Structure 1
Amino acid sequence: MNTRWEIGSLGAASGEKIKGYLTLPSIEEKLPAFMINGSEEGPRVLVLGGIHGCEYTSIDAAQKVGTSLEPAYVKGKVIVLPIANPASFYARSIYVHPRDNKNLNRMFPGNQDGTDAERLAYWLNELVFKKVDYIVDLHGGDMIEALVPFSIYHVTKNEKILAASKEMASLFDIEYVIGSSGQVPGSTYGCAAEQGIPAIIAEAGQQGILSEEDSVLLQNGVKNILVSLGVLEGEVRRSDSNYISVFDWYRSDFKGLWYPAVLIGDAVKKGQILGKLTNEFGETVKEIVSDTEGVVLFLVSSLAINDNDPLLAVGA
């Protein structure tokens, strides 16, 4: 029998939907949340947005998913956290938490006694991730990133979790589906998968611009996953996917200026020049050369580049 569902400071009775703020120990900000407790039993699903505070399209998509779901049509339970990192959202802070300059999506499973981002990761994992059966984390190009839509699942040794995650990642109307073998340590989806929870990231939207088209793409993908899990009624929609096993990141190793020589979606060859880094006098310090043959999935569009900033990624 379906009963009251509680996550942290929030709770919803059977057949109830609530809107409220999730409070987490030692976390200053309160996280807006939708909780939908269906009147029938079914899986427990978490939908995240705003792990990175300037990925606005994904935040909008998560919020609209939370707004649209009604318990009368839900078998199971869904919690939506559309702004999972409010400090970064309101500070308009790209990549990192504004108080410790750490990337939340590299901090999981976190540290109870750590810095702001480490504590937020810890409590999200302990109080939310571990209370659900599936996780869908929505992302997009940050304020200085151009991006081709893609989804990612973690390649774990647990074949059941691997298969479930890959299936979820394939249910967006997105061409590129990446099986990531730990190239992004400390991520939501990797941490969850290693704990036995099928999880994915889906990315659409870019450069701090709210795209209604890409928001709808993400919303439809989330609902398609919910249909596939039996949470919502309907027919699962499938599209052709290009499965990618290599996610090749390139980073700067000094502070300077970045001049990309490719565009998002470009096919590139091994040995091709992807761009150049110059000093403040316009003198080329380093050319970035592709290690693989593949497609440019995201590209930093900022002229200003700091040491260890990402430049672009090639999927192969």
Structure 2
Amino acid sequence: MSDLNEPGWERKLLEKLAFENLKETRRRRRWGVFFKLVGFAYVGFILFLTWAWQNGTDSVSDGAAHTAMVEMNGAIGVGDAVNAEQVNLALQSAFEDAGTKGVILRINSPGGSPVQAGMINDEIRRLRAKYKDIPLYAVVEDICASGGYYVAAAADKIFVDKASIVGSIGVRMDGFGFTGAMEKLGVERRLVTAGENKAFLDPFSPQDPKQVQFAHDMLEEIHQQFIDVVRKGRGARLHETPDMFSGLFWTGSKSIELGLADAYGTVDSVARDVIKAEEVRDYTQRENFAERFAKRFGAEVAGGATQALSRVGIK
């Protein structure tokens, strides 16, 4: 109240209000500039993601003569490092390029899904038939086993290192049995099914001989498909032995003796000496920055949403 009795208090009040208004205006301006910068950064980031998405391989389609390379590095399966969709897309791009003189499939794989391996094998055969003047060679580095060899068998030739691991032509089904442990722990298995085989090879129940035989017959059928693919791919080059299709594997040098492989070679030597196009271009479909960001961002959003919903009782 004392301020109101001072002379000129109206002017001081107006000055104070004007000063506060000026500070608020400056504050709004600074935030406006900040949000504009954030907006520009966001647009720039989206443009970068778009560019990265469209540049997933190192290949350049300029028509220059080159050797196209596609890598298979890791286990073969839908959710694994190698899958039919990515490999087949890469192979298609490699064969379609006007400058491709030959294709090298660089293999480092212990195997995996027979379905995915079969799809790649089928696509290789289709592309070789369509582009008759473009050969495809498999180059094995450390390992080409099981499903990896299933794929390699479709190649015109297979090149290895003398110490490479090649073969393992067989099929397996893994599982565990816990019935003994359950008895010791006093755990009772309670299982209700509609369909006598719905709990097929259930690890918490005793093995059913009929189910075991059914599984064995199924594996034998897939194994025979594998054998047929190898025989078709290798033809007269194959020197069959009693244990060739038993699941055993051999060194690269032994695999050449058996006709499972053709010769020693690396990516560079095959490109230079066999295809006669020394420049190697990588057509492998790799997960780029945009895809990694999208997956991680999606997982974080999904995780955050799940936590938020769990707090309100929705699970």
More helix by share: 2
TM-score normalized by the length of structure 1: 0.24
TM-score normalized by the length of structure 2: 0.24
More strand by share: 1
Which structure has the bigger radius of gyration? 2
Relative contact order: is structure 1 or structure 2 higher (C-alpha 8 Å, sep ≥ 6)? 2
